[in-house]
A = this chain, B = another copy of it.
Amino acid sequence: MDYEFLISDLNLNKSKKNIGTDKGLAKIGDGIVNLTYSVAKSIYLTKNNPNNTIVRTGKKVGKNILEVALKNADMKTFAKTRANAHDLADTVEALIAYVWLNNTISTKEIIDLLVENFSGNLYDRQEEIKSAILAFTNLLNHIKKFLPEK
């Protein structure tokens, strides 16, 4: 895709905070997170279904999951100072949108990475939260090298 012009201002003036606190990026990222999570969860549940039936599902990823993932990946420096849980989740979404719009990572790569990091029984709410936190933590660790250091 060729949508880098949507982040050319951020690429001209690259900084952790400029990218991590951009509200528009967070809105686009919200869409990427929810779509990739829904497809990844459908794939995982289909591949691990003892009845061999296909499962299609969708899920909004909770802000608390993204917040904890950002902390676990040690990337709170991308968020604004005195950020609350909602701000931290927005930062995760902004970072994912940034690398996606920059063609650093594709929708498919995000989906595949999430699927690889899922484990256990995703029908169990607590196990799903644990799996989702681990998956987004590893996604953040993966994209860290494509983000500015300052």
A contact residues vs B (CB 8 Å cutoff): 1, 3, 5-9, 22-28, 30-32, 34-36, 38-39, 42-43, 46, 53-59, 97, 107-108, 111
Taking the nearest CB of chain B, how far is it from the CB of A5, in angstroms?
7
Contact A56 B25 (CB under 8 A): yes
Taking the nearest CB of chain B, how far is it from the CB of A108, in angstroms?
5
Q: Return the contact of A35 from the options B7, B22, B24, B32 (Cβ within 8 A).
A: B32
Contact A57 B27 (CB under 8 A): yes
Contact B42 A38 (CB under 8 A): no
Contact A27 B31 (CB under 8 A): no
Docked complex Cα distance between A55 and B27 (Å): 12
Contact B1 A46 (CB under 8 A): no
Contacts of A57 in B (CB 8 A): 24, 27-28
Contact A24 B107 (CB under 8 A): no
* 18 residue pairs A–B, Cβ–Cβ below 8 Å: A1-B107, A3-B111, A5-B54, A6-B46, A6-B56, A8-B54, A24-B55, A24-B56, A24-B58, A25-B56, A27-B38, A27-B58, A28-B35, A28-B58, A30-B34, A31-B34, A31-B58, A34-B34
